[in-house]
Structures are given as structure tokens and as C-alpha cells.
Amino acid sequence: MNEIDDTTGSGARSRRGVLKAAVAGAGAVAAVGVGGSVARADERRCAAPVFVLVHGAGGNSYGWAPVVAELALRGHKAVAVDLPGHGRGAYYPVSYQTPQDLEALRTEPSPLGKVTLDDFAEHVVGVVRRASRLGAVVLVGQSMGGVTLNAVANRVPELISHLVYASAFCATGHTSAAQLMSTPEGSTSALLRLDRVETPPGLGVNRANWRSGDPAFFAAAKEALAADWPDAAVRALIATLEPDESAAIGTADSRGLPEKWGRVPRTFLRFTQDRAIPLALQDLMIREADAATPRNRFRVRSLAAPHVGPRDAAVWADELELAAGSCR
């Protein structure tokens, strides 16, 4: 690992000055397209940041709302992305509604069954293109959002100032998130103990019944996502999650290409209390990524946080400011 800087999760407010010093006098940033010169891309990396936030499986932009608000109140530009089939475009099976039809829920088709990683990447590339006209893009992904980060960085590395993986999948030595989860390091994941709706392979979706009233399901979800949160906070979190995710995302080849993705400076937010992506698996991804690009290693920050990250949005903002301030 290039650097491990353990924090307590309380968030030192003095960090807020780090970014201001790093970007002082940056001024307005000219739009730079795909054909922009290396010099202009380097200039953009030292400009005022624009944070683009990507959610994980079954999530949506709402999950980033507290972080976006905190960044905005600190004077930053930030946008949370709804990936295709999520957020306002989400699909909720009729059988998922109350009263639920659990038998029909196993077989009801979903439009997410046709969504691919290319769809995710194309959508986020469009957001990054627009954001890059406003400043230096800091692209952030949580959990399965890291798969999209790799795909986007493989396409438009010249438009991204920094990549931030918040306990997120980053495949380099292994081909996919699914393959990473099948390693010994992933074998202790609490996600493997979370009951999923058994859908036929042809449906093309991974489906979770977040509205289940089964206490065992709630206990497993809490362990996987936020074991140290109060039950009420976990219920509020689960209420924002969506039942369907494209099965193609986790199995797609999402390796970061050294000549593309590997050119972009990157940070890994290492969540030490994560039971969904165990610490050993996070460390494996960091090692493999660093081996792929030894001259551009992960900057590593360790936070005492569960899979969904710190509850305090200020801690998130502190870390993202630090990542944006590590301009090269």
C-alpha cells in the first residue's frame, strides 16, 4: 500500500482548509474535451473540484444526499448520479408492493435484466463530460459503484482528476466483482448470508426483498450494511434501497486497464468495520491495483466505518476534500 492514514471517523474539521490551500487561485477552468492536450488535462487536475458520486447495487442518488449537501455548504460543486434503471428510473415489481406476492416476485420480469455495464459507463461518461467543463472531476464510487468507476476511467481517463473508491470494487488482478467475492478474502462477506429472491437465470436480475418482515432478514441486512447503527437508522436506510439490480454488472469484466484507468490518481477509503466487503478483500484489491500500476499506487485512508460508510456527512466531505487536494 502506498499510504495508510488511519482516522477515527470523527473528522478533523481543520482538514477543510487543506483543499482551499490546494486550489487557491485556480480560477475558472476551460472546457477540455477528449482531444484535450496532456498539459491542459494536468491544469484541470489542479483546478477547483467537481465531485461526481456513484451509488452501489440497489442504491440511488438519494443515498448521497447528505454528502452532496455538506459539500455544497462548503462551497463545492457536487452531483450524485442515478445509474440507468435507478432513482427516478427505478423499477418496482408489482409483486413487490403490499400485499406482496412472494411467488410472483420470483419470476416477474424487470427491465434491469437488459442493462449492462456499458450502459452504466456511457451514462456516467456523459455526466463526467459535462462536469469537466466546470472543474476537476473527482469521481467517487461506493461498493458496486467501483465497477462503474473502472469502466468510466478506461474510457475517459483524461477527464478525471481523481478516483475515490469508498470500500468499492476495483478489479485488476481478478476480472469482476463476482470473481473477487469468490476469493478466500471474500468468503466471510455478510452479503453471502443475506437471503435473496431466487429468480431464474434468464430474468437477468439480482432481486432483494427489502420490504421483508422477517426479523432474520433484517438482522442479516443490518450486519452486512451497518452493523453498528441503531435499528431505526438501518430501517430508514433499507427503505431507500431498490429491489432489482442487473445481474450483468457483477459478472462483467471490469478490470482497470493500466494504460487508461491506471493513469488516474486514486484513493481507497478503507472501511475497517465493513462486513460486506471484508477488510481482507479491500486490501487484496488495493494490492492488485498497486501491482498493476506501481508508479501510480492507491492513496489509502482507513475509516472506522461499516459498508455504507460514516454516518456523519462531514467525515465524508473531509475525506473527499483531502482526495481532491492531493493534486498531482
Confidence of residue 65 (pLDDT cuts 50, 70, 90): very high
pLDDT of residue 43: 52
Question: What residues are paired with 78 via a beta bridge?
Answer: 51
pLDDT score at 84: 98
Comparing 5-9, 12-16, 247-251, the range with the smallest average pLDDT is: 12-16
Contact 159, 260 (CB under 8 A): no
If you average pLDDT over every residue of the chain, what do you get?
89
How far is it between the farthest Cα atoms of the chain?
Answer: 61
* Contact between 256 and 170 (Cβ < 8 Å): yes
Separation of alpha carbons 33 and 35, rounded Å:
5
CB-CB neighbours of 116 under 10 Å: 14
Q: Are 290 and 254 in contact (CB under 8 A)?
A: no
81/320 Cα distance (integer angstroms)? 16
Q: What is the pLDDT of residues 89-108, one digit of tens each?
A: 999 999 999 999 999 999 99
- Cα torsion 212, 110, 178, 242: sign: negative
β-strand partners of 206: 245
pLDDT tens, residue by residue, 115-154: 999 999 999 999 999 999 999 999 999 999 999 999 999 9
Mean pLDDT of the region 259-268? 98
Q: Does residue 308 carry a pLDDT above 70?
A: yes
Q: How far apart are CA 166 and CA 174, in angstroms?
A: 19
Whole-number Å distance between alpha carbons of 15 and 238: 31
The candidate with the shortest Cα–Cα distance to 305, out of 278, 277, 274, 267, is: 274
Round to whole Å and give the CA distance between 323 and 5.
12
pLDDT on residue 297: 98
User: What per-residue string of b and e applies to 231-257 under the rule 16 or more CB within 10 Å gives b?
Assistant: eeebeebbeebbbbbbbbbbebebbbb
The answer to whether the CB of 45 falls within 8 A of the CB of 29 is no
Contact 148, 54 (CB under 8 A): yes
Residue 8: what pLDDT? 43
**pLDDT at 326 (0 to 100):** 66
The C-alpha angle with vertex 225 and arms to 119 and 51, in degrees rounded to 5, equals 50
* Confidence check: pLDDT of 25 > 90: no
Q: What is the reported pLDDT for 328?
A: 42
pLDDT of the residue at 191: 97
Cα distance between residue 73 and residue 77, in whole Å: 10
Beta pairing, strands 205-207 & 244-246: antiparallel
Rounded-to-integer distance, Cα 300 and Cα 270, Å: 7
Give, in order, the Cα–Cα distances in Å from 124 to each of 14, 15, 235, 284.
32, 29, 29, 26
Q: Which three cell numbers stand for residue 68?
A: 452532496
Structure confidence at residue 93 (pLDDT): 98
DSSP code of residue 197: B
Identify which of 58, 63, 5, 6 has the alpha carbon closest to the alpha carbon of residue 309: 63
Please tell me the predicted confidence (pLDDT) of residue 46.
52
- pLDDT, one tens digit per residue, over 280-303 is 999 999 999 999 999 999 999 999
d(CA 219, CA 195): 11
At 70, is the pLDDT very low, low, confident or very high (cuts 50, 70, 90)? very high
